[in-house]
């Protein structure tokens, strides 16, 4: 299994050229990033395992650093090891974790910004207001799994529902002129990509995306035909309909993906 | 079937199917109770994706072709004994895998495929494969 870190590394190292070349075969993105000057992309990286934000950005003013060092004890980073970044309105500035060299460079070029105190709130809420109660707050606040879901659905009232990426795809669906679904996950089912009308496909890196055949050619052909038929049966039972929908979509997309990866245009 | 196997096939495949035995991906287990399949709650569908659905199907075909090695072998004798009565053979598969709940249309499709498989062993494997990979079977097992 590939780790998130490995995936992001390969994306950055060879992804821009390699992935774009492959994806153009889907007729999906006409190498926009390379050829269109106005091309813009919003890239969101959601750290499913969380991030130790208090060791990512550390305040450097004497009082604030002292409070941090006291709270963190042996986990605190030495003030001298931090990469200082200037912050308007905070003369002492802040320091980035010593390993965030590239981010510091981007920050210094004004190509990176940090947004603090972001969370899944229904409306701006102070700690005092939260403690006093009465202000609406997200369901199951402080529950990691619920908040993960709320980040991906932007629905603070529940623990399910369609994801915001999927809802965007629902609205843009008519613009997709290819057979290839716009939402693709390489990390399992994604609540973010789960639309109301549209559903993302999921591919598993390293696995062959398609059906293995066995036995005789005639038998194999007959099995595939029968499987296609069986997928259309018993759809009155909703879990069966859902499961068959997923498999039907997988079989259809597998053809497109494998054709593209083998270099044949469809 | 024996309940144990040292063959790495089991752990590898269970991981690919997003349900590695005893190793849930997070402290919140394998899937969330809030996950929806379409408009209805369907927690298990969080790990039933386009990727894992094909891997599950290929798991069945690998298993049927002896992918577990000598750890797990399939005894097809009773099914082979039903032949040449393919209806009786499919009914046995239906009873053993689906408790006799297979729909008539599904049974008809399986019988049509069984008729095309030349060898008796492939006829039996065809019936088991099409049943075990069907959504009708998977949502119950």
* B36-37 and B40-41 strand pairing: antiparallel
Contact B51 A254 (CB under 8 A): no
pLDDT at A14 over 60: no
Judged by DSSP in three states, A79 sits in helix
3-state secondary structure of A84: strand
Tokens of A124: 């701006």
More confident residue, B108 or A89: B108
Q: Indicate the pTM of the whole model.
A: 0.70
Q: What is the pLDDT along chain B (141 residues), one digit of tens a residue?
A: 334 556 666 777 788 888 888 888 777 788 888 777 777 888 898 888 888 899 899 999 988 988 777 777 889 999 999 999 999 999 999 999 999 999 999 999 999 999 999 999 999 999 999 999 999 999 876
CB pairs under 8 A between A and B: 170
**SS3 per residue for B18-83:** CCCCCCCCCCCCCCCCCCEECCEECHHHHCCCHHHHHHHHHHHHHHHCCCCCCCCCCCCHHHHHHC
Mean pLDDT for all residues in chain A: 81
Q: What CA–CA distance (Å, rounded) separates A266 from A104? A: 44
Structure tokens at A146: 């619920």
Give contacts of A203 with chain B, Cβ < 8 Å: 50-51
Whether B130 and A230 lie within 8 Å, measured CB to CB: yes
* Burial category of B39 from C-beta neighbours within 10 Å (exposed 0-12, middle 13-18, buried 19 and up): exposed
Find the range with the poorest average confidence among A22-26, A91-95, A129-133: A22-26
- pLDDT winner (highest mean) among A77-81, A112-116, B15-19: A77-81
Average pLDDT estimate for A222-234: 95
pLDDT at A114 over 60: yes
The answer to whether B57 contacts A247, with C-beta atoms less than 8 Å apart, is yes
Flag if B134 and A230 touch (Cβ within 8 Å). yes
């Amino acid at each position: 299994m590939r780790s998130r870190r490995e995936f992001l590394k390969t994306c950055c190292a060879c992804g821009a050229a390699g992935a774009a070349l492959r994806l153009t075969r889907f007729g999906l993105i006409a190498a926009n990033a390379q050829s269109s000057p106005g091309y813009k992309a919003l890239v969101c990286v959601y750290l499913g395992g969380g991030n130790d934000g208090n060791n990512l950005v550390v305040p450097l003013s004497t009082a604030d650093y002292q409070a941090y060092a006291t709270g963190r004890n042996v986990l605190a980073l030495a003030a001298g090891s931090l990469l200082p970044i200037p912050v308007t309105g905070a003369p002492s500035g802040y320091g980035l974790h010593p390993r965030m060299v590239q981010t510091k460079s981007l920050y210094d070029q004004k190509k990176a910004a940090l947004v603090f105190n972001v969370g899944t709130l229904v409306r701006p809420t102070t700690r005092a207001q939260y403690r006093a109660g009465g202000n609406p707050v997200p369901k199951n606040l402080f529950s990691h799994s619920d908040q993960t879901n709320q980040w991906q659905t932007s629905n603070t009232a529940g623990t399910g529902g369609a994801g915001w990426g999927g809802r965007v795809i629902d609205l843009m669906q008519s613009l997709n002129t290819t057979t290839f679904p716009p939402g693709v996950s390489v990390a399992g089912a994604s609540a973010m990509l789960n639309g109301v009308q549209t559903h993302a496909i999921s591919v598993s890196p390293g696995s062959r995306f398609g059906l293995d055949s066995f036995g005789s050619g005639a038998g194999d052909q007959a099995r595939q035909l029968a499987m296609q038929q069986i997928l259309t049966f018993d759809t009155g039972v909703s879990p069966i309909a859902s499961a068959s929908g997923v498999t039907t979509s997988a079989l259809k997309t597998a053809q497109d993906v494998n054709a593209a990866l083998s270099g044949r245009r469809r | 079937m024996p309940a144990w196997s040292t063959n790495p096939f089991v752990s590898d495949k269970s991981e690919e199917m997003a349900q590695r035995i005893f190793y849930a991906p997070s402290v919140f287990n394998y899937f969330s109770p809030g996950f929806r399949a379409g408009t209805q709650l369907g927690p298990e569908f969080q790990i039933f994706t386009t990727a894992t659905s094909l891997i599950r199907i290929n798991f069945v075909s690998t298993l049927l072709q002896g992918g577990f090695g000598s750890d797990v072998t399939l005894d097809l004798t009773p099914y082979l004994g039903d032949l040449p009565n393919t209806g009786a053979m499919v009914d046995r598969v239906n009873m053993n895998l689906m408790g006799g709940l297979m729909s008539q249309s599904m049974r008809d499709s399986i019988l049509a495929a069984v008729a095309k498989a030349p060898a008796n062993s492939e006829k039996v494997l065809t019936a088991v494969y099409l049943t075990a990979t069907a959504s009708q079977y998977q949502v119950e097992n």
